[in-house]
Amino acid sequence: MANTLLTISMITREALMVLENNLTFTKGVNRQYDSKFGVEGAKIGTVLNVRKPPRYVGRTGTAIGIEDATETQVAVTLDTQFGVDIQFTSEDLALKIDDFSKRFITPAVATIANKIDNDGLGLYTSIYNAVGVPGTTPNALLTYLSAGVKLDDNAAPMDGGRTVCLTPLMQATIVDALKGLFQQSSAIASQYQRGQMGTAVGFEWYMDQNVNTHTSGVFTTSATPLVNGSTSTGATTVVTDGWNSGSSTVVKGDVFTLAAVNHVNPQSRQSTGTLQQFVVTANTTSSGGAMTIPIDPAIKTTTAFQTVDALPADNAALVFLGPESTQSPTGVAHHKDAFTLAMADLPLPKGTDMAARVSDDQLGMSIRLIRDYDITTDKFPCRLDVLYGWAVLRPELACRIQG
């Protein structure tokens, strides 16, 4: 008995299931803003400003000290429409859904899922906390424990929402180094059978082939970069000199510290005793041995949003994380509130053979499939589309794992 022709709704539902199953990093981020886009309607370029909670200094004693409630916000923009275009015949549509999915849907949706996941992991360039040595794959648990310390020092919640995404080599190296020694007995078998860490040291561990590789700039060859002059609190740039004239470049995502400028706890504003790390936010090249570097976080020594315990002194040294011109796979340890992914329902056009859209409100996924018919070839050209946008909500709740 011949199979019934597959309908577009069956195909679209299968596509959504495959999309959900192919996302790794994405599963561990904040997804609460999808419904907001859905309520307001969305198209490419739609922006939602997400409020971040205010902070307060507090007072000691009985005298009242009113503080301003300063709310900051982050823009989440639906800036990417991505899709895959395929076609199939009437004969193809007569296949069982499992066969059809294996031949057509899984490869197409895997491409979409990898694009979404890769874009998310590309946000590492906004993360200033970092552990490990660029160019050296971590082989000790201390590296990952240190990432947990970075999150702890920035008041990341201990609520089960912490994950770490590693390259296949990073995962294989740490599994081999530790084997099953710190995993509960019921999960040891999974380490050996699947080569995966599972849950350990406060993180859910995932291997993700989309982990980005960072190539550092050219910044230290026979050069001693130093702070040039005084720096005001709130500064988002560092004025420096001592570079090789016209030949030194820092790139977006490079991380460095400033001598005697320590990180402070965001709630107590007490020094943690460790140097604050800064990330370069745009590619910059020296001119005449001088360079003004855009950075995050801002250098703040006052207010509830204080980030450091002191301003950098004139001639304070800049020390970069790892050697120059070094490729470093960059895993990410983070709390889910460090990042958000928003997806929205794309409109269904009229005048086509068929169009369907499937959304999952719980997971915040939406995928659209439009099908037309070519009478001359008896083929059905199709397009699969998603509309999404990534944003960094709270970079302090994430830490890079350099490898």
Q: Do 227 and 353 belong to one domain?
A: no
Sorted by sequence, the CB contacts under 8 Å of residue 308 that are 6+ apart come out as 261, 262, 263, 264, 276, 299, 300, 301
Structure tokens at 240: 């420096």
Q: Compute the chain's Rg from CA coordinates.
A: 25
| Same domain, residue pair 198 and 249 | no
Residues 19 and 104 occupy one common structural domain? yes
Structural domain containing residue 292 = 217-325
On whether residue 394 sits in a domain, the answer given is no
Where would I find the beta strands (DSSP E) of 216-270? Answer: 226-227, 235-241, 249-250, 255-264
The predicted pLDDT at position 260 comes to 97
The pLDDT assigned to 219 comes to 82
CATH number for the domain harbouring residue 224: 2.40.30
| pLDDT value for 350 | 85
Residue 2 belongs to a domain = no
Residue 67 belongs to a domain = no
Percent of the chain clearing pLDDT 70 (strictly above): 88
pLDDT in tens, 181-211: 545 555 555 544 444 557 778 899 999 999 9
Into how many domains does the chain fold?
A: 3
pLDDT higher for 24 or 165?
Answer: 165
Same domain for 199 and 333?
A: yes
User: What is residue 178's three-state secondary structure?
Assistant: helix
Residues 302 and 254 in one domain: yes
Region 150-162: mean pLDDT is 94
Domain boundary among the residues 280, 296, 325 is at: 325
395 is a domain residue: no
What does the pLDDT average to over 240-267?
Answer: 93
Domain-terminating residue out of 337, 372, 397: 337
Asked if pLDDT for residue 39 goes beyond 50, the answer is yes
Instruction: Please indicate, yes or no, whether residues 160 and 264 belong to a single structural domain of this protein.
Output: no
**pLDDT at residue 159 is higher than 70:** yes
**Per-residue confidence (pLDDT) for residue 3, from 0 to 100:** 43
Residue 362: per-residue pLDDT? 61
Whether residue 175 sits in one domain with residue 232 = no
Q: Which of 274, 293, 325 is the last residue of a domain?
A: 325
**Phi, psi for residue 375 in degrees, rounded to 5:** -65, -25
pLDDT, position 232: 95
Q: Is residue 167 part of a domain?
A: yes
Question: Of 63-77, 205-219, 368-382, where does mean pLDDT reach its minimum?
Answer: 63-77
Residues 17 and 85 in one domain: yes
**More confident position, 189 or 146:** 146
Task: Classify residue 403: in a domain, yes or no.
Answer: no
Mean local confidence (pLDDT), 148-157? 95
**Residue range 349-374: mean pLDDT, rounded:** 81
Question: Is the pLDDT assigned to residue 295 strictly greater than 90?
Answer: yes
**25 lies in a domain?**
yes
What is the pLDDT at residue 223?
80
Same domain, 288 and 374: no
Query: pLDDT category, 235, cuts 50, 70, 90?
Result: very high
pLDDT on residue 356: 83
Instruction: Assess whether 131 and 94 both reside in one domain.
Output: no
Residue 297 in any domain: the answer is yes
Tell me: do 163 and 208 sit in the same domain.
yes
Q: Provide the mean pLDDT of the chain.
A: 86
Highest mean pLDDT among 70-74, 232-236, 367-371: 232-236
Residues 154 and 283 in one domain: no
Question: Which pLDDT band holds residue 102 (cuts at 50, 70, 90)?
Answer: confident
Q: At what angle do helices 8-21 and 106-121 cross, to 10 degrees?
A: 40
- Compute the residue count for the chain: 403
pTM of the model: 0.86
